[in-house]
Each structure stands twice: as C-alpha cells, then as structure tokens.
Amino acid sequence: MAMTRPQPELHHFQSDVITLVLGYKNTAQGELLPVMQQRAKQALRIAQQFNTPILCTGGWGEKFNQHPCAHASHVQRWMQQQGAPATQFLPYAASRNTYEDGKLCAQAIRLFNVKKVYLVTSDFHIQRGFLWLRHFSPHIDIICKPSETVITEPSRNALYAHERQAITQFYRDFPDTPAVETLYDWSSLGLPVS
C-alpha cells in the first residue's frame, strides 16, 4: 500500500498537473486485460497532450492481481512499451481498491504539490473514481478523461450496476457529500449518471 520512490525527472513536465490512471486487472502473468489497456492508452494520450507526468495505481489483490509485481508496475511497463519514457512516471500507488486509489493518490498530490489532475479510468468507473479522489483531495481541480470501454452490452450493464451499488454505499458512508450529479458536468462526457 505504500508508494514507491523512484525519482522522476519532473522538470520536463508541468509541475502542478498530473495524469492519474486508475488500475483494473491483469493476468497471473502480469499482462493487462483489454479494459486496462484502454485506460492506459487514454492516459498516454492525455499525458502527451498536456505534457504531464503519470501516476498509476494498483497493488495486489485476489480479484485483480496475484502476480508478484504490483499491478501499477505492469501498467507502467506496458505504457513504456508504447513509448512513454520511464522518467514520465511518478512513484506508483500500490492500492487495492478505488478507496485506496483516492487515499494513496492524495499523498502523492500533497507530496508533489499537485493542483490539477486529469483523471483516467473507464467510462463505467469514472464517477466513483472521481468521488474518492475528490473526497481525499477536495482542493484540487479534477478533469475527468474516461476511456471508452469496448465490451458487450450485458457486461457493460453489469459493470454499471456494480458502480451504482458502490456509489450508493459511498453516500451511506459519507451522507454530507453533494450528489454526484451536481459535482461535475457528466453530460459533457456523454456518460449516464450513476
């Protein structure tokens, strides 16, 4: 759950802006599943467009990574194979779930004095990722840049149902949080509101 400490060469990038890509799943051999590849491709596009360093999330967990290396290290390796330099990556957050994504990334946000985050995760997951990041880092500007998830409609419906349940639980735990519908212009992304 701790952050790794390689030293990125941040002077090449905007100093107070990052691209944050939330983890998904990999195989037992460390290969990224298509949904994670879609997220990583989107993160590369955003980081290149806005000249930002990249923060990847994902440690270990029964449901998403049983490989000895952290999930985020597989994401970084894959992105490097697509052309991203190793110096573009911030120390990753070895999180186990979306809650820990928000909590551990808040540490990096404070450490690197980040003011703006381009948040990359799947279209079905963007609202929950946004809620947790905003919960732990309410002072930053969060720009949502979801990746399109190319899957069957039944699979998509199941993922959105899971997200609605998780967001409902978030509001049970934090009832004073404003409604997700009021926190961001989701219609600008062409996404349904959970």
- pLDDT digits 0-9 by tens, 79-112: 999 999 999 999 999 999 999 999 999 999 999 9
Tens digit of each residue's pLDDT (9 = 90 or more) over 123-134: 999 999 999 999
pTM (two decimals)? 0.91
CA 77 to CA 91: how far, in whole Å? Answer: 13
CA 47 to chain centre: 13
Could you tell me the CA-to-CA distances from 176 to 135, 171, 172, 180 in Å, in that order? 11, 8, 9, 12
CATH architecture designation of domain 10-184: 3-Layer(aba) Sandwich (3.40)
Question: Which pLDDT score, from 0 to 100, does residue 192 have?
Answer: 61
User: What are the extents of the domains in the chain?
Assistant: 10-184
Identify the CA nearest to 137 among candidates 117, 161, 118. Answer: 117
Q: Is 151 exposed, middle or buried (0-12, 13-18, 19+ CB in 10 A)?
A: middle
Q: Among 140, 67, 149, which Cα is nearest to 105's?
A: 140
Residue 174 amino acid letter: F
